Chains A and B, each alone.
Chain A
Amino acid sequence: MVNGNPIIEGFIEAVELIIALDPQVVEITIRSLYISLTATFFAALIALPLGALIYFYDFRGKHAVVSTLQTLYALPTVIVGLIVFLMLSNIGPFGFLRLLYTPGGMIVAQTVLIIPLLMGLTISALSGIDRDKRYTITALGASRLQTVTTIIAEARFAVMAGVLLGFGRAIAEVGTVMIVGGNIRGATRVLTTAIALNTSMANYSLSIALGIILLAVALGVNIALSLVQQR
């Protein structure tokens, strides 16, 4: 054993923290999963129908809407954090909801962050149903509504892949949860903000432990994604 190397010691301690189910590690992990899963759920609830609507209806400026959405995929998380912060703060229109520095506020922020991604990916998932398939559906005698439901059913795996990607972006981001949540211990501290804080305090073992968990979550998302994409 190499004595005195803080990285290696930190790593060993981190593994111990995880195996021992350290209460602080468990609490932060559960909060992170809860916030990002809830945000993904609400974002999907809003973005999937909107994306489908945009795909199925032809209107002026449709192309512009789709390119705007694609631009917003790369929306900086701190910008979303800033905007949601201003909206939820005392000086903003939604200050009365008292959501600032609460998990609820963080859910709102992450929901806003990934809605464009989920909408855009829903549109491309539906566009992935090629022209010949749409002709086939029409030729088989589908009504307008039956056409829509068949296309959505056919694109279900691609849409699910989009939702998984959205969850991946939500759980891995640090900008909005830091600004809107405030990284309050025991209340709004999540995996990413905890890693940032503990690293700056030279508390490497906790950072590494949380980092391993975050990576494991990302890995899990990836495995789920490849399973879905094989369908």
Chain B
Amino acid sequence: MTVIEAHGIRKVYGTLEVLHDVDLSVSEGEILALIGPSGSGKSTLLRLLDLIEPASGGELSVFGIDTVAERGRWLDLRRRMGMLFQRPIVFNSSVYDNVAMGLRYRRAPSGDIDRKVKEALEAVGLSRYIKSRATDLSGGEQQRVALSRVLVTEPEILFLDEPTANLDPGSTATIERIVTGLNRETGMTVIISTHDLAQGQRLAHRVGVMIEGTIAQTGPSHEIFREPKDRRIARFVGVQNIIPGRVVAQREGFTVVEAKGKEILSATPPPSDEVEMIVRGEDISLHRREPGHDEAENVFPATVTAIDPTAPFVNVTIHCGCDIVALVTARRAEALDLREGMEVWVSLQAKAVHLIQR
């Protein structure tokens, strides 16, 4: 079942257009990660979806209800969802009262409130602070209070806006564990925004990349990482090599691309004549001797021109007509005894060469 369906969403603040042409559909029980650079509109989109503020245009259905036509039902819909913000937000009252807020708004019986608040604080490991003033806690503890405050209301959709951006690894792990656990056990739908690619990959079933106010691509994370649709997405997901070239032939199911006199085989069908090759540094292997051609479709010699350690990896720039950056582990670099100016052999699988239109 689809719980969120958005078409052509637009949001304008004064003359500033923050979101445009956002299309998104989220299924029940899914964990969707919105990744993108800061300022790409992730937080704004989450607020629109959680009905905290209205969109300037477009269509939005939540739980199958058209939110544009039915403004009167926003409060009811909002009470079936919950949101955790980037900055830990607590109110100037006890931890207990903080966590009880959402239940009191819903006029839950006080016996229920008491039981649920105590359970929730137990789950995040803050029972001993139940009577403390929430503003006296550390940032990580405050964020856990904020998480329990959302979870006691048992939201069907949980929005997380960069929830662990300012937290220590311990608090981050606690929050991730609770969220994925709830998703598995209760089927809670989760939409998380993050600029941490690894977190998106770790948690989400599906990833949406937001660039400059719109969702540029959605798909499973491996697809986004290996087959970004355009240059901006490729840059954001950390592709080291974006090499302009031209399609010169097609043979045996491969596309032959020529870049500065060098021919490289790709498994992608040609999107156009002028293309860019997207190659992740970790897909390029370096060898001291010529490897067997059964290892990869592209095997060629090259010269090492630069070596930049970025522990625990090493970025190795090699020249073979065009410049290519390979990412090898520090250990592998040692074993190869890499030095600037030395000759190496390069192997690169055709399916690791993704082509996009130039």
Chain B neighbourhood of A138, CB < 8 A? 52, 78
With known contacts A132-B85, A154-B92, A141–B47 Cβ distance under 8 A: no
A-B contact pairs, 20 of them (CB 8 A): A132-B87, A133-B91, A135-B47, A135-B52, A135-B85, A136-B85, A136-B89, A136-B146, A138-B52, A139-B50, A139-B81, A140-B101, A140-B150, A141-B75, A141-B102, A141-B153, A142-B105, A143-B105, A154-B91, A231-B92
Chain B window 35-55, contacts with chain A (Cβ cutoff 8 Å), 1 for yes, 0 for no: 000000000000100101000
Instruction: Tell me if A71 is interfacial: C-beta within 8 Å of chain B.
Output: no
With known contacts A132-B87, A146-B105, A139–B82 Cβ distance under 8 A: yes
**B227-244: which residues lie under 8 A (CB-CB) from chain A?**
none
**B65-106: which residues lie under 8 A (CB-CB) from chain A?**
75, 78-79, 81-83, 85, 87, 89, 91-93, 101-102, 105-106
Once the chains bind, are B92 and A157 in contact (CB under 8 Å)?
A: yes
**A144-172: which residues lie under 8 A (CB-CB) from chain B?**
146, 150, 153-154, 157
A139 CB, nearest partner CB in chain B, Å:
4
Of chain A, the residue at the smallest CB distance from B74 is: A138
Instruction: Tell me if B354 is interfacial: C-beta within 8 Å of chain A.
Output: no
Number of A-B pairs whose CB atoms are under 8 Å? 49
**A83-101: which residues lie under 8 A (CB-CB) from chain B?**
none
Once the chains bind, are B89 and A140 in contact (CB under 8 Å)?
A: no
Which 7 A-B pairs give the minimum distances between C-beta atoms? Answer: A141-B79, A140-B102, A139-B83, A136-B89, A142-B105, A141-B105, A138-B52
Once the chains bind, are B92 and A139 in contact (CB under 8 Å)?
A: no
Of chain B, the residue at the smallest CB distance from A134 is: B52
A78 CB, nearest partner CB in chain B, Å:
40
Binding site for B on A (CB under 8 A): 132-133, 135-143, 146, 150, 153-154, 157, 231
Once the chains bind, are A141 and B106 in contact (CB under 8 Å)?
A: yes
User: How far is A76 from B10 in the complex, measured between Cα atoms in Å?
Assistant: 50
Binding site for A on B (CB under 8 A): 47, 50, 52, 75, 78-79, 81-83, 85, 87, 89, 91-93, 101-102, 105-106, 146, 149-150, 153, 159
User: How far is A86 from B63 in the complex, measured between Cα atoms in Å?
Assistant: 65
User: How far is A133 from B92 in the complex, measured between Cα atoms in Å?
Assistant: 11
- Besides A140-B153, A141-B105, 7 other A-B contacts (C-beta < 8 A): A132-B87, A133-B89, A138-B78, A140-B101, A140-B149, A141-B75, A142-B105
Chain B neighbourhood of A150, CB < 8 A? 91, 101
Chain A neighbourhood of B102, CB < 8 A? 140-141
User: How far is A140 from B52 in the complex, measured between Cα atoms in Å?
Assistant: 10
Chain A neighbourhood of B78, CB < 8 A? 138-139, 141
User: How far is A140 from B91 in the complex, measured between Cα atoms in Å?
Assistant: 13
User: How far is A168 from B339 in the complex, measured between Cα atoms in Å?
Assistant: 76
Chain A neighbourhood of B106, CB < 8 A? 141
Once the chains bind, are B101 and A139 in contact (CB under 8 Å)?
A: no
Kindly name the residue among A133, A138, A143, A153 whose own CB sees the greatest number of chain B CB atoms within 10 A. Answer: A138
